Structure 1
């Protein structure tokens, strides 16, 4: 009788039922995840329920782009000191900047109304002039794009508009507009009474206005010199405790001259928190709420008096509230 030789099986070649079940479950989970991802993409890239791709439709970037998106391409970045640096297309930047050249940034001083409400206000006062687009920015700023720059200048020359008794600050959009300038600087119209006619040129006017802020534009009456009682100029001014009241300049005879300034409007500024749109008397950092006991009233059920506490209204007797560190640092 021939004995069969037993051969030892190499480890790892034979899998247990538990391992086979684990592999199968993992494969099933991957398939489920793929199906969920496809369904999610269908919802994300569909504008309406009718636009949802049918089940089994081929999902590709081209099909998603056809639903309103745009396909992007990989652009090789630069590598400097171990950092990846993107290279932007200057020609495309000029095209995009020209698209917003007739836009204007609006903000309601001291309020942040909903976009739908503010959009209705804009259409009511400027709708007949030709508005192409209204978009919400950050921090309550709204971007309004007009049909051309002439319409934008017309709106700026009209002065300060008011929304719910609050002034609406208007500022032309520009590529160098940053968040700090939106918060600290305010465009205001100023008048230069009895300004010598020899200083009404664009270069001379820009030199004079540059001593108090960033010159923005000259109104049409001043540019055409149809009224020479005063020059009217829009300037971006930093609102501080000391607003310039005159302009010092050296004239053509090398004499030091002084030109008076008249502000058509200036925003209120809180001396406590340094923010615009309110005064120190209404600042939330100057008053605090005080808890006082409520008047005791007898309980009609058992006749025993009960008491509770309520929040007292804000008043001058409440005292001053401690300022936050960010605000306190400004006064230090």
Structure 2
């Protein structure tokens, strides 16, 4: 078996397996982990909006909340990164967000997050009954 390396030289696979290996330690990736600590994972129940539509929506409703980047990680699953983890935490504490009358499920990102939509069996809702005389 022949493998091409970055130097445009071809080497034998056996020779490559005898080469030195690189070990990545936590200190090497701490900056990348910290960069992701201000991120939420979200999806819309019963909807899969295009990335551009969701990005416009997120930037409009959180225009003063320091949204840094919006991306798609899977069909219907999005990530929203904020400038600071405190901004992310404030968003998660604010309560429910609705997109086209459908709830947006949000959770903070971490390295153990399962990026699958969950089966949701109950959704808390708030209704306002105005001008009803309840005694």
The answer to whether TM tops 0.5 is yes
Tell me, yes or no, if structure 1 residue 135 matches structure 2 residue 71: yes
1:88 positional shift: 3.3
The structure richer in helix per residue is 1
TM-score (norm 1): 0.30
Q: Corresponding residue for 1:161? A: 97
What does residue 176 of structure 1 align with?
A: 112
Q: Which residue of 1 is the match for residue 83 of structure 2?
A: 147
What is the DSSP-based 3-state SS (H/G/I as helix, E as strand, rest coil) of the residue aligned with 1:128? coil
**Do the aligned partners of residues 114 and 95 (structure 1) sit closer, same or farther apart at CA in structure 2, a change above 3 Å counting?**
same
Cα distance in 1 for partners of 2:63, 2:109 equals 19
Structure 1: gaps of 5 or more residues: 1-59, 62-74, 78-85, 186-238, 244-263, 267-332
TM-score, normalised to structure 2's length? 0.69
Report the Cα offset of residue 172 of structure 1. 0.4
Aligned to 1:97, the other structure's residue is in SS state helix
CA distance 1:149–1:114, change in 2 (3 Å): same
Q: Size of the alignment, in residue pairs?
A: 109
CA distance in 2, matches of 1:160, 1:118: 16
SS at match of 2:81: strand
1:203-214 superposed matches below 5 A: none
SS for the counterpart of 1:183 is coil
**CA distance in structure 1 between the aligned counterparts of 2:124 and 2:34, rounded to whole angstroms:** 31
Look at both structures and tell me which one has the larger radius of gyration over its CA atoms.
1
CA contact (8 A) 2:43 2:104 kept: yes
SS of the aligned residue for 2:90 comes to helix
Q: Partners in 2 of 1:160 and 1:115 — Cα distance?
A: 20
Residue 65 of structure 2 aligns to a residue whose secondary structure is helix
Matched, 1:265 2:124: yes
Q: Which runs of 4+ in 1 moved over 6 A?
A: none
1:178-210 per-residue CA deviation (whole Å, 9 max, x = no partner) reads: 23xx3237xxxxxxxxxxxxxxxxxxxxxxxxx
- The CA distance in 2 between the partners of 1:76 and 1:155, in whole Å, is 46
